Amino acid sequence: MKIRSKTPLKALACFSATLALSASMVTTSFASDWTPSRAVEYIAPANPGGGWDTLVRTTANVIRSENLSDVNYAAINVPGGGGAVAWAQIARDSRNDHKLFATSPPIILVPLAGTSRFNHTDFTPVARLITDYSIVLVREDSPYQSITDLFDAIGENPRVSIGGGSAAGSMDHISIAGAAAASGLNAASVNYIAFSGGGEAMTSLLGGHVDAVITGAGEASAQLQGGELRALGVSAPERIPGLDVPTYQEQGLDYTFDIWRGVMAPKDISEDALRYYEDLFARMMETDSWAEATERLGWLDAYQGSEEFGEFLDEQLEQFRAVLGDLGLLRN
């Protein structure tokens, strides 16, 4: 029953993709002659449904429906250890030109916290694709009107609590602690309350159990429309289109925090393969299907090629290392 239900959809998708292709007559110009000779293993280091998985499946779908490659990009879930299980597997497979994986700040944070032996330098950056930003929310009736109000309050009363959807020492905590440090506070003075998901943190804020919540801007947009919550600031360098929230920088706080996502490959893949994938993702991001997908998912394009992405990762490492050091959580 289910098989039959899906096939027409697939056929329809293929059909429309063919139409789109013949209409635009995409001319493919490869940066090199190398092309994958078999299916590419495309790993999401987490269970189906999360951010990495969505990135892998969406990009694989766009590549297929736009006919950007002759081979299949097979989405493979390797969950466990916040990514560490997959990283350990991929690290054993250096020089494999037919393997890619989705990545984001945890590839830097998890090793720094000491729970993964491998970090971004053990892999080849291919491309940064998209980004999201942190946003700080309070209840509509909260006394705080700006991000500086909040940090002033924390300075006076260390019990002011800020909830987040991930463990202490991971993304949300680093983001808010870094902002607090930039405002002149001690990073460790943020009373960060870890919840097991952004949703739980937001429910707790709605009920007034915590004073503020830090989460991804994409995740918060529904709540902001509802009018029960209010945003104090967003960690983007400039305002996010369609989201009427001032940046930290506008409020005199020189701090940005990217929740970026990108693609990496095993260490020491061939130069030709790297160029091929770099180019593949660059072309993918110019397609209509990609534009449609990012629109739906609320992603902001933030492409960087391999070299630029690598430098960006090194900067991130320094930024995170500093914050974790302030928090006393640096274990590696």
Partner 1 sequence: MESFTNLMYGFSIALDPINLMYVFIGVFAGTLIGMLPGLGPMSALALMIPITFNLNPATGLILMAGVYYGAIFGGSTSSILLNAPGVAGTVATSFDGYPMAQKGMAGKALAIAAYASFVGGTISIIGLMFIAPLLSKVAVSFGPAEYFALMVLGLTAVVSLSDKSLVKGLIAAIMGMMISIVGMDLQTGTERYTFGSIELLEGINFLVVALGIFALAEVFYMLLSGNKSTPKRNAIGSLKLSMAEVKDMAAPVGRSSVLGFFTGVLPGAGATIGSFLGYSMEKRLAKDGDTFGKGNIKGVAAPESANNAACGGSFVPLLTLGVPGSGTTAVLLGALLVMGVTPGPMMLEQRPDVFWGVIASMYIGNIFLLVLNLPLIPYIAKILDAPRPLLLSLILIFCMVGVYGLSFSSFDLVLLLAFGLIGLVMRLYGFPAAPMILGLILGALMEESMRRALQISGGDWSIFIDKPISLVLLIIAALSLGLPVVKKMIQKARA
Partner 2 sequence: MTRLNINQILALVLVIFSVGYLWMAFQIPVFPIPRPIDSDAFPKILGICLLVLSVLLFFEKQPKTENASQQEDVEPVTESSVTGMQNPKVQVLGTAIAILAYAFLIEPLGFLLSSILLGVGLAYWFGYRQHGVNFATVGSIVLILYLLMSKVMGIYLPTGVLPF
Residues that bind partner 1 in the complex, under the rule CB under 8 A:
1-2, 5-6, 9, 12-13, 47-49, 53-54, 57, 61, 76-82, 84-85, 88, 113, 115-116, 158-159, 161, 167-170, 191, 193-197, 199-200, 202-204, 206-210, 221-223, 225-228, 296-298, 329
What minimum distance in Å lies between the beta carbon of 23 and partner 1? Answer: 19
Given the rule CB under 8 A, which of 62-70, 122-130, 256-264, 321-329 is the region that contacts partner 2?
321-329
Q: What contacts 235, CB < 8 A, 6 or more positions away?
A: 133, 134, 135, 175, 179, 247, 248, 255, 256, 257, 258
Q: Is 58 in the site for partner 2 (CB under 8 A)?
A: no
Given the rule CB under 8 A, which of 74-82, 124-132, 268-276, 313-321 is the region that contacts partner 2?
74-82
Q: Does residue 48 sit in helix, strand or coil?
A: coil
Footprint on residues 94-153 left by partner 2 (CB under 8 A): none
DSSP assigned state of 257: -
What minimum distance in Å lies between the beta carbon of 78 and partner 2? Answer: 9
What minimum distance in Å lies between the beta carbon of 17 and partner 2? Answer: 17
What minimum distance in Å lies between the beta carbon of 91 and partner 2? Answer: 17
The pairing of strands 300-304 and 123-139 is: antiparallel
Among 11, 12, 19, 74, binds partner 2 (CB under 8 A): 74
Q: Is 38 in the site for partner 2 (CB under 8 A)?
A: no
- Closer CB to partner 2, 185 or 231, in the complex: 185
**Do the beta carbons of residue 34 and residue 2 sit within 8 Å?**
no
Neighbours of 242 (CB within 10 A): 7
Q: Is 14 in the site for partner 2 (CB under 8 A)?
A: no
**Gap between the Cα atoms of 147 and 151, Å rounded:** 6
**Gap between the Cα atoms of 301 and 294, Å rounded:** 8
Q: Which DSSP helix (H) or strand (E) runs through 152? A: helix 147-156
- Closer CB to partner 2, 131 or 175, in the complex: 175
- Closer CB to partner 2, 284 or 327, in the complex: 327
Residue 195 Ramachandran class (φ > 0 left, ψ -120 to 50 alpha, else beta): beta
User: Which residue is associated with the tokens 């000491």?
Assistant: 114
- Closer CB to partner 1, 271 or 292, in the complex: 292
Could you say which of partner 1, partner 2, none residue 152 binds, taking C-beta under 5 to 8 angstroms by partner kind?
A: none
Question: Residue 315: exposed, middle, or buried by beta-carbon count in 10 A (0-12, 13-18, 19+)?
Answer: exposed
Q: Is 329 in the site for partner 2 (CB under 8 A)?
A: yes
* SS3 assignment for 189-220: HCEEEECCCHHHHHHHHHCCCCCEEEEEHHHH
* CA angle, 304 then 309 then 310, to 5°: 160
**Beta strand extents in the chain (DSSP E only):** 40-44, 73-77, 99-103, 123-139, 161-164, 191-194, 212-216, 229-234, 258-266, 300-304
What minimum distance in Å lies between the beta carbon of 152 and partner 1? Answer: 19
Among 54, 65, 77, 142, binds partner 2 (CB under 8 A): 77
| Letter string b/e over residues 172-184, b meaning 16 or more CB atoms within 10 A of that residue's CB | bbbbbbbbbbbbe
- Closer CB to partner 1, 212 or 285, in the complex: 212
What minimum distance in Å lies between the beta carbon of 249 and partner 1? Answer: 27
Q: Is 168 in the site for partner 2 (CB under 8 A)?
A: yes
What minimum distance in Å lies between the beta carbon of 155 and partner 1? Answer: 16
Could you say which of partner 1, partner 2, none residue 7 binds, taking C-beta under 5 to 8 angstroms by partner kind?
A: none
Q: Which residues bind partner 2 (CB under 8 A)?
A: 2-3, 6, 48, 74-77, 168, 188, 327-329
